[in-house]
Structure 1
C-alpha cells in the first residue's frame, strides 16, 4: 500500500481511549457527579501528566483592532493576496505573532474552497535527489501558506495511479510528480494541475526539466580535456539516460571519436559489472549516467589495480551527496534538484491562480573532483 503522510505531523503512538457517555434513558443517580468533558469518539491521551492549560489565543478581530485594519484585510494577509501593501502585511503579521494568533485551517478551507495542500508523488523515498526536490518544493510552498502531502509510487504504474487518486481524495489543490510513469493518464479532479519533474515528453505541458543532453556534453568535454580517447558510457534506463548519452555521443563524434556502451540499471552493482566488461578492452575514461553506477566503476577499477584518474578518468551524473564521499571523490554533473523542486512548486502555485504556465528548463553544472584530471 502506498505510504502517505502529511509532512510535519508526528506519528501517533499512544493507545486510543474511548469515552462512552452514559445512557440518558437510565435513571438519574442520586450522587452528585461533576460534569464530564465532551470528548471526541477517539481521543488520544498523553502517557504523562497533562500540561497546564494555555490561555486562549487572540482572534482575528483582536488582530485587526491592534493592527488598525479591517478583518477583511487580516484575512487577505493570511491568504497571501497581492492586494495588501508590504507595510500593512508586515504590521498585521507582527501583531498576529505578538498576540499568538493563527488562522483556523478548517475555517480558511471552508471560505476559500481550498485545502492548501500540494500532493507530491516520487518514485521512491530513498534516492537523495528526490529528497532535495521535496525540500525545494516544501520551502517554496511554506512561503505561500501551503504544505506537502507525500506519496511514493515505488516505480510502479498502478501504485502511482492509486497514489494520485488518494491524494485527490484529500482534496489537494494541485500535485507534483517526479519522473511519472503515467504522464497525462494521471487522474484529475476539478482544476487541480499536475506539474511534472521529468524530461521533455509529448503531452506534458506543465513540467520542470533538466537539459540532460547538455549534461552529457559536459561529461564528454571533461574526459576529453584530460586526454581521454578510449571512452565508454555506462547507460541507465529511460529518457534521461538516453538524453545524456545523446549529448555525450554528439560531443565525441564532433571530434571524430567513437565510444563503447554498456547497459546498467543505476545500481552500484551494475556499474561494477559494466566496468569489468569494459576492462577487457582499451579504456581511459568512463561516463556513468548516475553516481551510483560510477561508484561501482570506481570499485572495479580499484580491484583491477587501475589508478583513477591517471589510468582511467571517471565522471558520474547527479552530484548526489555520495559523490564527495567516494575515493577518489567523484567528478559529477550536478542536477539542481532543490531548485527543480522549488520551480515545480512555483509553477503549480502559478497555475492555481488561473494563469497559463510554460515548461521550465534548468541547466546542469560540472562539479570537478579528483576522479578526473586536475585543471
Structure 2
C-alpha cells in the first residue's frame, strides 16, 4: 500500500520493495514536490523476490548544449552532458539532486529515469560555428557519465566526439565505464593532435564494495584495463580516485594510485566525498543497509572534514575538506603521487587547431 504524506525525505524502502541492481535504497519525491508516496510493507509481500526496475528513457529537447562554469575550484569552464540522470547508480553521486528540477526523485528515479539529448551533436556544431566562438576544452562527464549503459545504443557521446574531431576542438572525458574503449579510434585521433584527455574514475579495488556502491559501473578491473588500453593507444589518461570516503575507501588510496600508475595513467586527482541536499540522507540510508556496524564511525569521520556537518558548500573547501582527517588524505595523496610518478597537473589541450569545416552546401570561395 502507499501512504500519502507531506513531502519529506523517506526512510529506506521496506525489504520486499528493495530493487536489485540499483544503488539508492529509497525514492522520495523531489524537494520541490508537495506530497510523497511511501511504500509500506503490509506483510503480503514478505516472500516476494526483489523487483527489477527498468530504465525509462525520456527525450530531452534541449535548445543549447554547452554549459558554462565559473566555479573557481573546477578545472574546466565549459561542459557538455549528453544525459541527465545516470544508470550507474553511484550512491554518492553529487548530481542526484538535479533530478528534482524535473519532478523526479534523487533516489531510484535518478538512476532509472534517464533524459537523453538526441540532437546534441547538431547543437554542438551550431555552437562551434557561431561567429566569434573562442575554442576552450569541453568536459564530458562533469555531471553524469557519458558512457553509462544507454550510450551503447544511443551513441550520443560518440556523435559529440565526431563533431569535436571535425572541428579540431579539444575535449576531456571523465567516466567509470570501460565502454569508453568503443570510441578508441576517435580518441586516439584526437589525442594525436593534442585534443583529448580521459580520466577514469576508480574508487575502490574491492569488487564487492564497487558492486553495492556503484552497481552498474564497470568493475574496478575493467576500469584499470581501460586505462591500459587508452595509454597504449597514445591517449593521455588519468586515474581519478574520487570520491575519497573517510572510513570506507580512503585506506585504499595508495593502492589505487599504484594500480593506476601500473596500468598506464600519467596523472591523478581526487575529491573528498560531497553530500549536498538529498545525497546526504540517501548515503546515510545506504550505509545503514550496507555498512550497519561502521555507519556511525564513517559519518563521524566525514563530518570531521566538514566542520561537524555532513557537507560544506564553500568553494575550495567542498572539494578537499578541512581538518586533520582531510589534511592527512591530502598529504597521503601527494606522497603516493610522487612515489608512483603521477603528475597532479594535466597538460593543456590545444586550441590553435580549431577550424569550422565547410558544409557541402556552402558557397565556394573565389580565392
* Band of TM-score, shorter chain: under 0.3
- Normalising by structure 2, we get a TM-score of 0.28
Larger Rg: 1
If the length of structure 1 is used for normalisation, what is the TM-score? 0.27
